[in-house]
Structure 1
Amino acid sequence: MAMAKRIGIILGGLLALLILVVVLVILLVDPNAHKGRISELVESRSGYQLALEGDLGWSLFPVLGLDVGAGSLAVDSQTDPFLRWQQAALGVKLLPLFSGELQADEIRIAGLQANLQVDAQGHNNWSPQVAAEPASAGSAAGGDEGAPLEQRLQAVTIPLLMVTESRFSYRDQTAGTDLQLTLDRLRLKDVQWQDPISLDLEAGIQQGPDLTVSVTLESQLSPRLAEQRIVLDAIKLQLKLAGLTPQPVPIELQAGGELNWGQGTARLNLERISLAQLVLSGELTATDLNQSPRLQGQLDSRKVAPRQLLTSLGLEPPPMGDDVLRHLQFKSRLSGTDERLLLNNLQLTLDDSTLTGQLSIGDFAAMALGFDLQLDRINLDAYLPPSPAEEGKDGTSGDAPAGDDQLLPVEALRQLNLAGTLQVGELQYWQQSARDMRIKVNARDGLLRVEPLQAELLDGALNGSLRLDVRGPAPQMTTRLDVEQLELAPVSSRLMEKNLISGRASLLLDSTASGNTTDELLRSALGELQLNVAEGILHGVNLNAIVVDALRDQLRRVEQLFPNYQEYLPRQLQEDTDISRLQARARIENGELIMPDFAFYTGASGIDAQGRVDLLEQAFVFDFGVALSALERNKYLHGARWPVHCAGQLSGAPADWCRPDLSAISSILKQAAGDALKNKSAAELGDKLGLEAEDQQQLRQEVQDKLQAEEERAKRKLREKLNKLLD
């Protein structure tokens, strides 16, 4: 007992002496006197320039602590510091040290400012230019230096780690990045490296001048240092994005996950992600994080009303029908690396339409987009603004681009990098359906190709291609369309706002054009057009009726030469022109569609035609030569082509377009009447000669035949007389 008592007294005395020494050191030694030495030590060991501008202070009991006032850190004395702070305090509890236990007290850092920059040459402002001196062998050797990290940290406990009123700035001129982070509060409670750690974060992020994000994060972190992983539970993240939309976008995330740096893997279980009214869930898994990161996962969304979603974001829904934008839902598998991303097994449902297939970004740096998509059906009419007929009855379209409006976003097309195929089962547009559409698109370096462009539409078939070159100062467009058995009525009524022509048409178009306005494209267009129409009707215009009406007046004046002409002319004609067959070849140049010569048939009558259409002014001029089968039986009018002149605006009334060429018709009738008079005289002379001749030509032929017959008869009689004399 006496020995134990003596030992206790000795140890107590030593402890008292130690405390006295520490107190005397704290009272008598001013740490501020050693700022220079501390800065030199930091520079020699790390290469950084440490500036301790504020006061240094320490405390003893119950916490052995150190207070550091304002300071900064720079790579050298010639550059601005990249790191500053206003106040830092840390310490350890004194008494547990005597039992070999390290219990840290609160660690607080306030006013931390980091300014990280990368210039245009790729040099940063936080890497020192001078290499640090290597640590001495003695300092490198420690009693437990070889112990695993988790064993060294097991005894460390920090009740609170707090960082407040801090700001981080990162600018990279090579990447064009300008990121600002304001850290209002970062709080870690009960940091023990073996039990869950409470995380509380409140911060703000600014990207450029417009985009700002406020961040609130709560979570439980469970370090598993022996397994080289950390588990994150009960993650609650709240974001508010401002600058992308008129109204800030609220985003909430509830998740759990795990990071295993030993195996290079990470897992995130997305219990719920809400973006305004859009709610997602899924899971993400990353592997090979230490070398070639790979990502796999699944994302699903709940049904959402797109119209309400847009309204909640402060966006005005586009003008369209009330029965659309009712619900949206999607799901997809995803996979990728640090260079590319693939969305496969994609299924997106919008109202009554379902899109399936895959989307990909083949190269993040080049933004190479790829797709292979199948759309079952869609009614585009329901998603378009009201038609002009619904907005007003003036027959004009307020949405039609003016002749000098720019049609194509040239700069965006030059940057476009995509390749893919879209197939559509059924598409409704202009109240007409197209089926089995297939479009293959390839765009890169300002050159866009669409080939093939296939569809079954308007009871016909379309097969074509499109080439758009925007590499030069003006877009260059090459078009090839092959259409078979297309129903014309829907196209005519839509483009010309009236049903001008109906029937079935086949056409072949090859054309080139340059420019970025309607006028430029039409004026520069060059190409050929082949058109075939079968069983068609030209509505509102009857070329036969125009000719018949004109002939009734003209033939009445010479009725004695053409008796009973009324029996041959149709008494009643319809208002339209039937087209039994039409074949035309046209060329496109100087803003005009030129048709030098084509023919079509209406019933048994043929019509010759030529003319041109001014594509810029939407005007036309055509001259028709109409053959009336009813008058073909009259030998004086057989083969006659009755001229009709048509001209006007395509937007005009068809009844005002065409007029007969009365002067030309009169000339034809005069010629026929003259022939009739001559033939009448020939018939009278034939009667006197005993010949049955109806016209001059027939009379001349019969006279010649009679003379030849008389000559033969005279020769025969002469031979008979000679034969008698010789006998």
Structure 2
Amino acid sequence: MKALGKILGLTILGLLLVIVALGFALTHLFDPNDYKDEIRQLARDKAGLELQINGDIGWSLFPWLGLELHETTLASTRTPQQPFADLGMLGLSVRVMPLLRREVQMSDITVQGLNLTLNRDENGTGNWEGLGQPPAQEDAAPTEPTPPAQPESPEEADVKPRRPLRLDIDSLSVNDARVTYHDAKSGQQFSAEGIELSTGAIREGAPIPLKLNAFFGSNQPVMRARTELQGTLRFDNQLQRYQLEDLRLSGEASGEPLQGKTLSFTAQGQLQADLVAQVAEWTSLKFTANQLRGLGEIKLRDLQEQPKLAGALSIAQFNAREFLEGIGQQLPPMAEKTALSKVELVTRLTGTQNSLMFEELNLTLDDSTFTGQAGISDFARQALRVQLKGDRLNLDHYLPPTSTDTTSAARRSEVKKTEAGAIGSGTTPLPDQPTQQAWSDESILPPGPLRKLDTRVNLSIGSLTAMKLPLEAFSLVANSANGLLVLEQLRGNLYNGRVEVAARLDARPDIPLISSQQRIVHVPIERLLESQGQDVMIKGLLNLDSDLNTRGQSQKAWIDNLNGKIGFIIDNGVLLEANLEQQLCRAIATLNRKPLTSEPRSKDTPFRELKGNLTLRNGVASNPDLKASIPGLTVNGNGDVDLRVLGMDYRVGILVEGDKGAMPDEACQVNERYEGIEWPLRCRGPLELGAKACRFDKDALGKVAARLAGEKLNEKIEEKLGDKVSPELKDALKGLFNR
């Protein structure tokens, strides 16, 4: 037995010596550089790859099958003159014996100076296409079709099981690598430069330390980013499971979108993918972007069909104004300097390849809180969907600061000075011209962008302040599609009254069409005027119904083309700084030829009701039925309001009724002579003057005086003639003087 063992030992030793001797002979007597042409042809025939080895091939056989390539270029056989890769050096070695057991045991793999250039031409053809496919043999003779191979029986399959390939690599190192992509049709270019990749031992199921550094860039827009990634990789090829544990990604980005600013970012967490279950997820996600901090998790399913996203996101409170300015996004001026200083978000994410929605959203915006959902339901159509409910919002804080119109202010001041001594006296003539230019002709609604809008918005806010109007229980429902924008409803309580608005904007024609319906119920009109910075010229509860339409792209065009109807009633109001009673007193005193001896008791005129209907035609509102009920007086009027220049021209008649002994001055005491007489008033001038622009019409007042004189003369005729003449003659004489 000992002799047998000794013989076997010597035999094995002899075989090993033979193998070593053969390996030495092969590596020293056989030079692979002599077979470059054969290697090139083999790559061309089997892989559709045009291989050029400009440097030497170094190699060893046993116990490591070593290979080292220098100055190598690769191209597709379809475009052999356009190499897509060149390689400075590739070095690797594989143990020979484990290969027989389908095990790959390698020492260090080193890649130096890899330059991968991927180009797509104007026709969309890439210079890498055709790899893995042998070139077409156009001149080859047709061959008989090969009969399909017979499938193995289950018994044969059980007898010859295939062992899975096992990898065992000491390390992988990639240095000074570069990858670029260029699309000639779109002009887009992306690059990854300075790629440095290093790993620990690569063994299936074992943790593999991984580190990657690279610089990324693009030209549309111009961007540049430095990144560093670290983590531990695990994989199981048989189960198709892959994990990247303790991921840490960090870097900095700059470029055109950042306007010279720098974005510093970090991300960490656990990544894993199960290709059998078609699931990938990122858990324990933590990320930063400058001062922004967030947590979350992301899960993708149906990876190979239609990937679907689900997850959660939480962003800690941060100053959005400072964050946006820090990444080069200049915000427009806002009325409130601290606006957007407190923003916080908690939400659940859902999405697909073409959508992203924020479900169960909880958003804090300064002093406001919103809940609901928002997002893009279709990226291609930019389909915005918003359904939010908020407690309060001061929209004015986020609008541009209110600018003072110095020209209008100076003009109003001049008008006031002119009118200051005329209130109650009626001695100042009417202004010759109303406002010359009231509206801007700057384009506001370009049809192009409006036609692309696809939105559905449902918003409700407990308390909303907009344009200084405090709206309670505010709600808004709006949508847009294919150039048609519809405001289905806008409702809110305002100063214990109510406002309702509906509107449509049709941007499909070259010139947009606009229609709207408004309803205002019991809203104090003076509060509306005050909120808009207008002089308060009237008080009372406003009730209004309107149906208007217009066309155009600017304020001026809207007013010039404004048509429709407006009906209004103002209850329990006051005309401020316009004492119609005193004006009437002055007119009567003039007819009585007596001077006024007392001062006006009040500068204002209270009324029970002021109402009318306006018909608008191309920016001019005709009001034929203005009527006001004032204690002791009834006012009827008709006239026009020219919205194009914010001017008015009215003729008003005042009828004395009720207690005729209430006039404040003896010179204007009312008697039976004035009963049923309509005292003429003319209101003409800028709308902002209101009733202060009203004066008694001297020409019409002269006709009243003539009428009164005729009536007095008729009384004398009746007194003098009595029954001395026939009734026919007396009537003829009265008619003569009444003409």
- TM interval, shorter chain, is 0.7 to 0.9
SS of residue in 2 equivalent to 1:291: coil
Alignment-mate amino acid for residue 547 of structure 2: D
Alignment pair present for 1:251 and 2:287: no
Whole-angstrom distance in 2 between the partners of 1:471 and 1:120: 35
Matched with 1:199 is 210
Whole-angstrom distance in 2 between the partners of 1:605 and 1:12: 134
Deviation at 1:697, TM superposition (A): 6.8
SS of residue in 2 equivalent to 1:387: coil
Matched with 2:664 is none
Deviation at 1:98, TM superposition (A): 10
Once the two structures are superposed, the pairs formed by residues 53-452 of structure 1 within 5 Å of their partners are 53-59=54-60, 64-78=65-79, 81=82, 83-92=84-93, 102-118=104-120, 123-128=125-130, 131-132=133-134, 146-149=161-164, 152-154=165-167, 156-169=168-181, 171=183, 173=185, 178-207=189-218, 208-243=220-255, 244-246=257-259, 247-315=261-329, 318-322=333-337, 324-388=339-403, 394=409, 403-452=440-489
Alignment-mate amino acid for residue 202 of structure 2: V
Matched with 2:504 is 467
Distance change >3 Å, CA 178–CA 166, structure 1 → 2: closer
Matched with 1:514 is 551
TM-score normalised by structure 2 residue count: 0.82
Deviations 1:465-517 (A, max 9, x none): 11112222222211111222222112223446211222111212212211111
Deviation at 1:439, TM superposition (A): 1.3
Deviations 1:58-96 (A, max 9, x none): 346885422222333333354653621222323226587
> Contact 2:656–2:674 (CA<8 Å) still a contact in 1?
no
Whole-angstrom distance in 2 between the partners of 1:613 and 1:699: 43
Once the two structures are superposed, the pairs formed by residues 672-687 of structure 1 within 5 Å of their partners are 672-686=708-722
Deviation at 1:338, TM superposition (A): 2.8
Deviations 1:114-156 (A, max 9, x none): 344556665444332995389x99xxx99x995353xx215x2
Distance change >3 Å, CA 396–CA 410, structure 1 → 2: farther
Alignment-mate amino acid for residue 287 of structure 2: I
> Contact 1:51–1:73 (CA<8 Å) still a contact in 2?
yes
Whole-angstrom distance in 1 between the partners of 2:346 and 2:163: 45
Deviation at 1:260, TM superposition (A): 0.8
Identity among equivalent positions (%) equals 25
Q: Which structure 1 residue ranges, 5 or more long, are not aligned? A: 560-565, 701-727
Matched with 1:526 is 563
SS of residue in 1 equivalent to 2:645: coil
Deviation at 1:679, TM superposition (A): 0.6
Q: Which has the larger radius of gyration?
A: 1
Matched with 2:610 is 582
Deviations 1:534-591 (A, max 9, x none): 112222323333332233233216x9xxxxxx8xx99734222323212211122222
Whole-angstrom distance in 1 between the partners of 2:97 and 2:648: 102
Whole-angstrom distance in 1 between the partners of 2:23 and 2:455: 72
Deviation at 1:289, TM superposition (A): 1.9
Alignment-mate amino acid for residue 37 of structure 2: G
Whole-angstrom distance in 1 between the partners of 2:411 and 2:290: 40
Matched with 2:40 is 39
> Contact 2:368–2:392 (CA<8 Å) still a contact in 1?
yes
Alignment-mate amino acid for residue 113 of structure 1: N
Alignment-mate amino acid for residue 209 of structure 1: P
Whole-angstrom distance in 1 between the partners of 2:38 and 2:7: 43
Whole-angstrom distance in 1 between the partners of 2:202 and 2:410: 75
Deviation at 1:418, TM superposition (A): 1.5
Distance change >3 Å, CA 681–CA 605, structure 1 → 2: same
Alignment-mate amino acid for residue 657 of structure 1: A
Distance change >3 Å, CA 573–CA 50, structure 1 → 2: farther
Alignment pair present for 1:641 and 2:678: yes
Alignment pair present for 1:660 and 2:671: no
SS of residue in 2 equivalent to 1:104: strand
SS of residue in 1 equivalent to 2:74: strand
Whole-angstrom distance in 1 between the partners of 2:628 and 2:39: 103
Alignment-mate amino acid for residue 153 of structure 1: R
SS of residue in 2 equivalent to 1:69: strand
Give the number of aligned pairs. 678
> Contact 2:250–2:267 (CA<8 Å) still a contact in 1?
yes
Instruction: Identify which of 596, 601, 605 aligns with 2:629.
Output: 601
Matched with 2:513 is 476
Deviation at 1:186, TM superposition (A): 2.1
Distance change >3 Å, CA 254–CA 670, structure 1 → 2: same
Alignment-mate amino acid for residue 611 of structure 1: G
> Contact 2:447–2:510 (CA<8 Å) still a contact in 1?
no
Matched with 1:550 is 587
Alignment-mate amino acid for residue 591 of structure 1: G
Deviation at 1:342, TM superposition (A): 2.8
SS of residue in 1 equivalent to 2:600: coil
Matched with 1:725 is none
TM-score normalised by structure 1 residue count: 0.83
Whole-angstrom distance in 2 between the partners of 1:271 and 1:35: 50
Alignment pair present for 1:612 and 2:640: yes
Distance change >3 Å, CA 490–CA 51, structure 1 → 2: farther
Deviation at 1:219, TM superposition (A): 0.9
Alignment-mate amino acid for residue 384 of structure 2: L
Alignment-mate amino acid for residue 203 of structure 2: Q
Distance change >3 Å, CA 498–CA 669, structure 1 → 2: same
Matched with 2:651 is 623
Whole-angstrom distance in 2 between the partners of 1:516 and 1:98: 77
> Contact 2:521–2:543 (CA<8 Å) still a contact in 1?
yes
Matched with 1:715 is none
Deviation at 1:194, TM superposition (A): 2.2
SS of residue in 1 equivalent to 2:560: helix
What is the RMSD computed on CA atoms of the aligned residues? 3.8
- Could you say which structure has the greater relative contact order, defined with CA pairs below 8 angstroms and 6 or more residues apart? 2
Matched with 2:493 is 456
Matched with 2:433 is none
Matched with 1:703 is none
Q: Which structure 2 residue ranges, 5 or more long, are not aligned? A: 136-145, 150-155, 413-436, 661-667, 735-739
Deviation at 1:361, TM superposition (A): 2.7
> Contact 1:493–1:500 (CA<8 Å) still a contact in 2?
no
